[in-house]
Each structure stands twice: as structure tokens, then as C-alpha cells.
Structure 1
Amino acid sequence: MPKITFHRGDFHHEQTVKENANLVVLAGTKQFPGIKYGCGMGRCTKCVSKIIKGAEHLSEPNWKEVKMLGDKLKEGYRLTCQLFITADLELEQEE
């Protein structure tokens, strides 16, 4: 099972999740604390996160991420609601 390490300001959380889990879905069902999120459909960008480790295991950004994030994709940012976790991942969100 993939291990997720999450940071937001002084808050840090580490947890294993089932393969192909979506962190925004888990956060919405109170199974993964701390993640900011909104629509869950790639439109509001409230869940934008910087990938620190494990980006190579994520799928290529989809059209929603390309449209909403643009050049921030090159800086390692992704929309958490559009990610399905298959391997260990470390990510952070701004306060």
C-alpha cells in the first residue's frame, strides 16, 4: 500500500492508502486529514499541491490540470483531486 506524506504549514500527516486511492475523496470522507479541497472536479484549484517526491509514479497531467495550472505543472504542482495514488508520494499545500 502506498505511503503518503503530507505537509501544510506546521501540520504533517503520514498514512498508507489503498492503491488507486484519491486523496480528495479520502479527505472528504474524513479518512485523510488536512488536505484543502473544493469541487473535486478540477475546476476550483483549492486542492493544488506541490509534489515533493514520487511524481514519476503519477499519470501525466490531464486536460483539466493543463488548463487550470499551466506553467505551474513544470514547477511540480498538481491538482490532488485528479491524482490516483499507485506508489509512495510526498506532497505539500500552502497555508
Structure 2
Amino acid sequence: MPTVVIHSKGEAFSGEVKEDTNLVVRAGIKQFPYPHLAYKCGMGKCGTCASRILAGAEHLPPPNWKEKKQLGDKIDEGFRLVCQLWIKNDIELRQEKVTEQA
């Protein structure tokens, strides 16, 4: 089972999730990473769940078109939309404010 570490508000929160888990879905049903993950739409439209991937990015698929549209150049800085990721391996992330793209 993958371990997820979320850095939020100066603390690190860690938990295990089932393989092939979407963290926004889990938070939505009040399981880890709830309440440490900020999210809204869950569809890649709002960007609220944007997070900098600190470890485990090499196991993620390439960014999809929703991430490219929402994040733009921030992808090169290691940002991803958590709602678009299905976790299969350990991952560590930090949510940071991302300036909206035009």
C-alpha cells in the first residue's frame, strides 16, 4: 500500500492508501488525507488541489491536458493537480498557492 505524506500548515501528515487511489476522492469521503488536502471540483477545473510533488513524481504519468491548461509552466516546477492522479506508489507533496493561468 502506498504511503502518502502531505505537508500542510507547517506540519507533515502521513498515511497509507490503497493502490490506485485518488486522494481527492478519499478526502471527499472523509478518509486520509482529509482534512489536510484542499480541493473543490475534483475535475481539474479549479486548481484548488494543485500541489508540488516533493517525492515520487517519477512514478506518476505525464501531466494530462487539464493539468497543462490549469498549471501551465508550474508543471516544470513540480506542480500537479492531485485530483488527476491515481496513486500507485509512495508520494510526498506540499500544497502551495498557484497563480491561475490565463
TM value normalised by structure 2: 0.89
Higher relative contact order (CA 8 A, sep 6+): 1
Secondary structure (helix, strand or coil) at the match of 1:91 reads strand
Q: Identity percentage over the alignment?
A: 55
Q: Where does structure 1 differ by over 6 angstroms across 4 or more consecutive aligned residues? A: none
- Which of 55, 71, 88 matches 1:69? 71
Equivalent runs, 1:1-95 vs 2, <5 Å: 1-32=1-32, 33=34, 34-94=36-96
TM value normalised by structure 1: 0.96
Shift of 1:8: 1.1
Give aligned pairs, total: 95
Q: Structure 2: which 5+ runs fail to align?
A: 98-102
Q: Structure 1: which 5+ runs fail to align?
A: none
Once residues 54 and 64 of structure 1 are traced to their aligned partners in structure 2, the CA distance between those partners, rounded to angstroms, is 21
